[in-house]
């Protein structure tokens, strides 16, 4: 199981692990997978809204990472998130017949959970996911990277291949849209 304290890795340590993995060190590759799994899974989950799909996509991210890490260059976090972004994009291309995966109901999952605070929490998560689905893809990506993953504006900009100013504008517009959606209570 993922242990947050065990995997507090600073940038220089991460760089060393990445370099070792590039040289074929399987232990380093496994460390990268274990360290990054919760982050990549969370990114995928907020993009596809289904745990099983997010697990499958996350697995695909790590397969692609393992296959191509020896040729990786540039900032590693930007590279791995670009792989995740591309895999999620491919996922939606293959599901083009579906109008909007974010609009699917979470009722089946909610029915499995007992009533009370946990159900309210799940309903709020479902509302947030639906609201995220009403944003542009770029706005969703910025909010997920900034507020779910905890990246700074500069880091999100590097991952998305945009300027820091563009990330700030996308964040501002996304938050404004979310405020309007929640104020109108569009899920009722």
Retrieve residue 164's tokens: 């820091």
Domain boundary pick from 49, 74, 99? 99
What is the rounded end-to-end Cα distance, in angstroms, of the chain? 38
Domain boundary among 56, 72, 99: 99
Residue 185 domain-assigned (yes or no): yes
pLDDT digits (tens, 9 = 90+) for 26-51: 999 999 999 999 999 999 998 887 88
Same-domain status, 80 and 121: no
Could you tell me the pLDDT band of residue 62, with boundaries at 50, 70 and 90? very high
Evaluate whether 63 touches 11 at the Cβ level (below 8 Å): no
pLDDT in tens, 114-151: 344 444 444 466 777 777 888 888 888 888 888 888 88
Mark which of 46, 64, 99 sits at the end of a domain: 99
| Pair 58, 39: CB distance under 8 Å | no
Residues 82 and 148 in one domain: no
Q: Are residues 133 and 179 in the same domain?
A: yes
The total domain count for the chain is: 2
| 104-to-51, 57, 95 alpha-carbon distances in Å | 13, 18, 13
Q: Domain check: are 158 and 95 in the same one?
A: no
> Is the separation of the CB atoms in 155 and 168 below 8 Å?
no
CATH number for the domain that contains residue 8: 1.10.1740.10
**Residue 95 shares a structural domain with residue 15:** yes
Establish if 26 belongs to a structural domain.
yes
Range of the domain at 26: 1-99
**pTM (2 decimals)?**
0.65
Tokens at 55, concatenated: 């697990």
């Amino acid at each position: 199981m993922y242990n947050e304290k065990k995997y507090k890795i600073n940038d220089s340590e991460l760089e060393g692990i990445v370099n070792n993995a590039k040289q074929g060190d399987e232990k380093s590759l496994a460390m990268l997978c274990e360290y990054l799994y919760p982050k990549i899974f969370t990114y995928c989950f907020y993009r596809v809204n289904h745990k099983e799909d997010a697990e499958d996509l996350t697995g695909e991210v790590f397969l692609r990472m393992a296959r191509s890490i020896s040729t990786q260059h540039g900032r590693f976090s930007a590279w791995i998130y670009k792989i995740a972004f591309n895999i999620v994009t491919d996922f939606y291309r293959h599901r083009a017949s579906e109008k909007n995966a974010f609009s699917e109901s979470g009722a089946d999952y909610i029915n499995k959970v007992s009533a009370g605070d946990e159900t309210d929490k799940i309903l709020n998560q479902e509302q947030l996911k639906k609201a995220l689905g009403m944003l542009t893809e770029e706005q969703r990506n910025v909010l997920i990277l900034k507020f779910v993953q905890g990246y700074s504006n500069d880091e999100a900009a590097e991952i998305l291949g945009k300027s820091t100013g563009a990330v700030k504008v996308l964040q501002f517009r996304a938050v404004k849209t979310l405020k309007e959606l929640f104020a109108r209570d569009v899920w009722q």
